[in-house]
Structure formats: C-alpha cells, structure tokens
Structure 1
Amino acid sequence: MATMSRTRLIVGRIVQAIPVLIGIVIVSFLLTRALPGDPAAYFAGPAANAESIQQVRVSMGLDRPLPLQFISYVQDLFRGDLGTAISTGQPVIHELTTRLPASLELTGFALLFSMIIALPLGILAATRPNTWVDHLCRAVVTAGVSLPTFFTGLALIYVFYYLLGWAPSPMGRLDFLYLSPPRVTGFYVIDALIDRDLETAWAALSQLLLPAITLGLFTLAPIARMTRAAMLQTLESEFIRTARAAGLPRRKVLFTYALRNAILPVITTLGMVFSFALGANVLVEQVFSWPGIGSYAVEALVVSDYASVQGFVLTMALLFVALNLLIDVIYTLVDPRLNTEE
C-alpha cells in the first residue's frame, strides 16, 4: 500500500510538471526573440553588408513569422536538436552536456560544504539558545546573506592564492599541467578517482575548493537559519517534553525524535538552495574562470544566441523539475504520513 501511494505521488508530480515545461518552452522562445541585438549580424561578421546579413537571417530561419519559427523549434526539440551555438559553432546539446557537469560539481561540493557546517551549527544554536553558539550562528547567517559572492571569491583568491600561495591559480577546473581524466560522470574529482589517478583527483579537488567555499558560504545562511528555527520549534513540542519526562536519553530525544521531525523543512530548504545556487553561480564561475553552464549562458546572452539561451533555460527547467521530484521522493521516505496521502 505504501509503495502504491509513493508511485501515485511520483506519477502525479510528473503529470503536474508537463504544463510547466510547456509554459517554459513558450516563454523562453518569446523572451529570446525580445533580446536586443541581431544574431544574424553577429554571425555574418562586422564587415558584412545589409544584403549578406539578410541572407544569413534567411538561412537561420529568422525571416519567418514567429509562429512558424516556434513550430520549427518544437519539432527540433522532439528530435533532440537544440540548434547550433553562434559563438562556438558547436551543437548546443554538446555545449550543455560538456559544461553542465562542471556547474553541478561546483554546486554539489558547495552544498556539501555548507551542509557540513550549517546543520551542526543550527542544531547547536537551537539546543543552546542565547549562548555564544547561538550568536555565532546568527553572525554566520548575517555574513552569508550580506557578503556578495564575487567579493567573497576575490577575497579568498587574494588571501589563499596571492598572499599565502596555498591555493592553485583560479583558472578553470584543472591546472594546465594535468590532463582531464577519462569522462565517466563529467565530475573531474570522481572521474579521476574511478581512473585511480589520485594525483589528478587531488589537483581537481584543489581547483574546486575556493569556488566551492565561496558558493558554500552563500548557501550556508538559509540552511543554518532553517535548521535552527525548525529545531527550536520541534524542541518546544509536547511530544519532546513527554519523551524527556519519560527519562529517554538526551541524545535519543535530540536525534531520533526532534531531528527527524525538524528535517522536513530543512529538506525543502536544501532543494530550494540547490536550485538557487545552480542558477546563481554565474558570478563564481566568472571570478574563477569556471567553464560551467552559467558563464555559457552569459556569453550567449551577450551575442543574442537564441539557441543557446533556449537550451540553457530548458536544461535548468528540467533540472528544477527533477530536483523537486527527488525532494518529493525523499519526503515519502522521511515522513510516513505521506505514504497514506490520497
């Protein structure tokens, strides 16, 4: 029965996501056409005249009415063709599959870093309200929200690379002395470990540390704040008082009863933070010359590259839908009440 309830929940979420994806396809198509600039003029080159620009526009299909352009775009989507990037001349699907793992690796390590710090800090702050731990949690949250990511990144580069020399040069995913590991997942650290190349794995991890810490300090604030608030609310609940009155060990009350009930809003926050960080890591990628999907989208916007922008928006939408579906699945595993949801 529980398995059938989970299956119905997952199928229902997938069905609900279909209209969202259709709307995103329509909106992204219309918004890209509203971008300033002419991709045909960029593709034709600075020495092109009006006639050659018009020929390029015809070859790209930009001379046709918008409804016909949209129909062609949807037909290409069903064939798995996202078009060709103007700036690189490569298929958009190739650019996205090459750059997306870099952004996912950066965002994943940043979220892991923030969770390692934010969850224990939030729990300690909730169990020791109005102490120095609680004040430290508030200070960290305030600093994480207040400091811009580009400032934090530049400060870390200045201290750990320029002054101390502990960090490698902030120039991409891997130092030029190393070759990229054989592609399995697209994550350099994991692929190097799979290849049993510990030296390359350490080099990739070294390149990843500063940008991941920069983004992690930004994502740390909402996770620590939500953990503290959820734990405070749960610790004041009646069933926690009953558990304490029954003489249960403090550790069991805290982690078995309080944390399990407080983890649900934290999971929701983790999903939102991951989604937001994946879209907001553009500045981090620019500061550290990280070849991710965010920097690719910025370059595409500058030259009004319709195909690249539409591919980026559609990819991000699919990621967000998949992430929300994953959160729903985790909810059914953590909260037994959802197993009987009709």
Structure 2
Amino acid sequence: MLSLIGKRLMFAIPSLIGVVIVTFLLTRALPGDPAAYFAGPSADKQAIEEIRKKLGLDKPLIEQFFRYTADLAKGDFGNSLTTGQPVATEIRNRLPASAELTLLGLMVSVMIAIPLGILAATRPGSWIDHLCRVTTTAGVSLPVFFTGLVLVYVFYFRLGWSPAPLGRLDVFVSTPPNVTGFYLIDSLIARDWEAFRSAFNQLILPTATLAIFSLAPIARMTRASMLAILSSDFVRTARASGLSPRAVIVTYAFRNAMLPVITTLSMTFSFLLGANVLVEKVFAWPGIGSYAVEALISSDFAPVQGFVLTMAVMYVLINLIIDILYGVIDPRVRLEG
C-alpha cells in the first residue's frame, strides 16, 4: 500500500507543475490590464506605467514566471492587489467555508444516491426505478446556479422557510470560536446552539443545490454497476446456495459494485469544486470560489493562481484517498501497486 501511495504522489508532481505553468500563462492571457484597472479611469499613461513597473508586469514573461515559482517554493502565493492581503492567508481563511459546503453536499448526495441506485437495481421497472431515472435526469439537466436560484425563490422569497442567502451565519449571530473553521463543528464544540442552528439553516439550501447536482452521476453509476453484478454467475450461485437476499445484495453484490461507484465519487467531487464557485456567488458564501471570481473580474492574478493551485492539490489528495479505498475494497489493487 505504501508503494502504491508513493507512486501516486510521484505521478502527481508533474501534474502540479503543469498546473502551475498553464495557470500562469492563462492569467497573463486574460483580457484587460491590471495596471490600468488599479490606476483608475482618470490615470494617465505615465501613472499606468509606474503601476505596471511596481507590479513587475514590465518584466519579460519568463522572468515573471521564475519569480512566481521562486515565491511558490517558499510558500508565498503573493498578495492580492484588491485587498492587499497575502493570498495564502485569504485562502486559508476562506477554505473551511468552501470545504464545509462541498463535503456536506457530497455526503447528502451519497446518502440519497447510493440507496436509491441499489433499490432501483434490485427492483427494475418499478416506481422507484422510474423515480431514480427522473431524479438523475433532472440532476444532470439543471444547471447548478439555476437550481440554487429556484430554491432561493421558492423557499426564501415565496414560502419564507429559509433564511436570507447571505453567508454562513445570520447577521445577529456571533461567530463561534475558530477551531476547525467548520461552523457546525465549532459551534458544537463551543456548545453554542444558536450559532449551530443558524449555521445549519444557512447550509440547507446551498447543500441541497450541490446534492441535487451531484447525486445524479452517483445514483446512475450505482444502479448500472449493481445491475451488472446482480446478473453475474457468483451472485446466482450465492442465491442458489440459500443465502438471504440481504446477504447477497450487501455482502456480495454491493462490495463488488463499489469500485466504479468510488471512481464516480472522485469525479463528482472534482465537478463539485467547479460548481461550488457558482453556488457561492448565488448564496453570497464567503469561500474561495467567490474570492477567485472577484479576483478574476478585477484581473488580480495572484488570487486566481492561488485558487487554481489549491484546487489542483485538493484534486490530487482526493484521488490519493480514492486509490487507498481501492486497496481496502479490492486486495488485487494492493498487489498491483
């Protein structure tokens, strides 16, 4: 298992280097001039050139890249031109908000999608099978920002059941002491039930938005994988041996159907990282997605580069966890590693 982890980490290094190069080049290819943006509309050409020189944008592209990589090697992502704060500090402060929302959305979708896919596979043609198809089709077809806007319109504007989509807590509730950065966990640790209730209520709609978006591929893959396994010879043999249907489905079929489902989970998580950017803007969520969008609008290179690199590292870590789960479920993966 350790050799497998080591190989995966070695393969991840060239990917991260490629992400750094591509991100640097793409940010420089964006339309607009950061120096002109921060100089203001009334600035003359000389003032713009002075700001460009101060930002180091007058240097050759290769020199800018080497300076950027040298700073990265020291853990310095640069400073945001908009806020004036170090990008690493901004990302560290905002990452828990994005992680709490994304992980909770994935957990909710898994708790719904996997049982739904199993029931649909064990009862083909039934009403629950049709429900699975309709649900997955709707989840794939609806854009995530549209789903969020519809939920806000129905449950906040029309029914008034949900709080205003304006961040992680109600404006009259104090932030719990920072331990993990996850407000649900921190409020439980502090036994601040008012903050917990407020954080939970604020999470319902954005979590539902991400869950609707992500449960479709998980449920479809679970159903397809279970159908394939249930028609295999060893399942028929287990049934002929007199094992209970529950034992056949849970012990034999589901465990063998897990590998493609776990692969889909890793892909779904990567999709959620991208969808989270739109959800954060819809619900005014103070995460790294909204931070990157604001930086992109203002042609602020450093936050955009830091955001993309952070997403790449998270994706590598998720794939590493998936590879470890492969080894736990299927011993042949450990032997191949």
1:87-236 alignment runs, 5 A limit: 87-236=82-231
Runs of 4+ aligned structure 1 residues displaced above 3 Å come to none
1:1-342 alignment runs, 5 A limit: 6-342=1-337
Q: Could you list the runs of 5+ residues in structure 2 that have no partner in the other structure?
A: none
Q: Which amino acid is the alignment partner of residue 146 of structure 1?
A: S
| CA RMSD in angstroms, aligned pairs only | 1.0
Cα distance in 2 for partners of 1:81, 1:46 equals 31
Provide Cα deviations, 1:73-100, integer angstroms capped at 9, x if missing partner: 0110011111111121111111111111
Cα distance in 1 for partners of 2:16, 2:205 equals 35
**TM-score, normalised via structure 1 length:** 0.96
**CA offset at residue 195 of structure 1?**
1.4
Quick check: 1:173–1:204 contact (8 Å CA) kept in 2?
Answer: yes
Cα distance in 1 for partners of 2:330, 2:56 equals 52
Q: Which amino acid is the alignment partner of residue 215 of structure 2?
A: L
Quick check: 2:296–2:304 contact (8 Å CA) kept in 1?
Answer: yes
Quick check: 1:104–1:278 contact (8 Å CA) kept in 2?
Answer: no
**CA offset at residue 191 of structure 1?**
1.1
Quick check: 2:144–2:275 contact (8 Å CA) kept in 1?
Answer: no
**CA offset at residue 43 of structure 1?**
2.1
Provide Cα deviations, 1:243-294, integer angstroms capped at 9, x if missing partner: 0000011111110110000011111111110111011222211111111111
Provide Cα deviations, 1:46-73, integer angstroms capped at 9, x if missing partner: 3321111111111111101011111100
Comparing 235-244 with 86-95, which one deviates more in the overlay? 86-95
Cα distance in 1 for partners of 2:301, 2:150 equals 35
Comparing 244-253 with 153-162, which one deviates more in the overlay? 153-162
- Name the SS for the 1:82 alignment partner: coil
Q: Could you list the runs of 5+ residues in structure 1 that have no partner in the other structure?
A: 1-5
Q: Which amino acid is the alignment partner of residue 28 of structure 1?
A: T
Quick check: 1:150–1:287 contact (8 Å CA) kept in 2?
Answer: yes
Cα distance in 2 for partners of 1:109, 1:122 equals 20
**CA offset at residue 163 of structure 1?**
2.2
Cα distance in 1 for partners of 2:146, 2:302 equals 32
% same residue: 63
Q: Which amino acid is the alignment partner of residue 269 of structure 1?
A: T
Cα distance in 1 for partners of 2:145, 2:69 equals 37
Cα distance in 2 for partners of 1:176, 1:51 equals 44
